[in-house]
Structure 1
């Protein structure tokens, strides 16, 4: 983490969340600082996606505090998933869900443009698209191609690129390598590591610990809806080599 970045972009306290009668997240606390890149590691079904959806206001119900850039966005809710998500996005959140959450009939460029949700991002969309093409060079020749014609790896690049178009202080990236061949999955994660965060922060949920070891500021385990310990990926896990 950048030594000058000390502000908490995300501060979660006592968060519980779930769907219907099912409680998935259990009294969870998490703080993410500006400039940090964090790995959230755990098996499928243990709450990583639900945590991201709770931060975005998309769970069936939740209680507890979620501060995004110092503003309370958690709210105690029993219904209406997504009712306040647009406000949370404007506060600085970009959620990049797992899998191919895309519209197959739209082109690559149309998908990227759709990620420029806020006024500033829309005004800067041309420059932002150029940055995305630097991160994902294969997309440059595919800008006019409907995404339904792309390979799985290319579609994942589009989905992530759309999220990175946002005017965001916190990027939540859910299972970027899921369903991809190992080489393609690694290239997608490599691209995420190349993103210049500045004063923003990024949390990457992954099942594959090896993709994150030594490459992020912290790795946090998640099991049964709770965080299960934390280690420095650069020191405790692989002896200090970045």
Structure 2
């Protein structure tokens, strides 16, 4: 496995080993509630999969953790520090604090700046002072994970293929000082072979004291490769399913 994340010095997990602890989280946009009284614990070194159809709350959960929903209430503790609580306005107002606390959000699709080059995108992921100072070796480690990007560093990302843009988005997240990586639909819109290659890269990362949560519709990409798989249905997490039961979880959604 690639010892990429393990070389970082993220904040220490809680005494019970949890990186993320969510209690009673509800969140939504305007009058619409998407997440309903959700509880979740993610521990250091864990790779968790969340499966579910579009519109059932996977992305909203990630946005709530980052403080980017229209409103939310409930407790979200990241490395023992409360980053949730009640919020009724100003989505994104405190997101930079959550990032400094150890969060890296890798959104689905092409949520990138098409006019910036690949290198500029990777640099933008080095948000904290230490990651900025270390951006050169960090970029080298990202390029070791995604070799096709090396020859594209000076290319505006708007000219890249869908798979290459996804590599840029993931690489930007991996530049951060993060203890929790939220990866939203990494295979979405990609050809099966390219989607599998992207997922292989994520599975090859050594987490160390960090944790990773992957939201995905394609259960087959997660089965047998993550520590747990949870089903997301109508804004709630279904009971835990072992990876051997992942196909059954998919049928139930």
1:59 match: 69
2:250 match: none
Question: Which residues of structure 1 form unaligned runs of 5+?
Answer: none
1:49 match: 59
**Aligned with 2:193 (options 160, 164, 183):** 183
**Aligned with 1:196 (options 202, 206, 211):** 206
1:22 deviation in Å?
A: 0.4
SS in 1 for 2:199: helix
Query: In 2, Cα distance between the equivalents of 1:146 and 1:237?
Result: 38
2:10 match: none
**Matches of residues 91-106 of structure 1 in structure 2 within 5 Å?**
91-106=101-116
Q: Identify if the C-alpha distance between structure 1 residues 236 and 42 changes in structure 2 by more than 3 Å, giving closer, same or farther.
A: closer
Report the aligned-residue RMSD: 1.2
Query: In 1, Cα distance between the equivalents of 2:153 and 2:205?
Result: 20
1:202 deviation in Å?
A: 0.3
1:229 match: 239
2:100 match: 90
Residues 24-59 of structure 1 show CA distances to partners (whole Å, capped at 9, x for unaligned) of: 000000000000000000000000000000000000
1:237 deviation in Å?
A: 4.9
SS in 1 for 2:87: coil
**Matches of residues 20-169 of structure 1 in structure 2 within 5 Å?**
20-169=30-179
1:75 deviation in Å?
A: 2.0
Query: In 2, Cα distance between the equivalents of 1:104 and 1:57?
Result: 25
Query: In 2, Cα distance between the equivalents of 1:99 and 1:219?
Result: 22
Query: In 1, Cα distance between the equivalents of 2:159 and 2:46?
Result: 35
SS in 1 for 2:238: strand
Query: In 2, Cα distance between the equivalents of 1:46 and 1:168?
Result: 26
Aligned 8 A contact 2:118 2:156 in 1: yes
1:67 deviation in Å?
A: 0.2
**TM-score, normalising length from structure 2?**
0.90
**TM-score, normalising length from structure 1?**
0.94
Q: Identify if the C-alpha distance between structure 1 residues 103 and 214 changes in structure 2 by more than 3 Å, giving closer, same or farther.
A: same
Question: Which residues of structure 2 form unaligned runs of 5+?
Answer: 1-12, 248-253
SS in 2 for 1:180: coil
Q: Higher relative contact order at CA 8 Å, sep ≥6: structure 1 or structure 2?
A: 2
Query: In 1, Cα distance between the equivalents of 2:107 and 2:24?
Result: 23
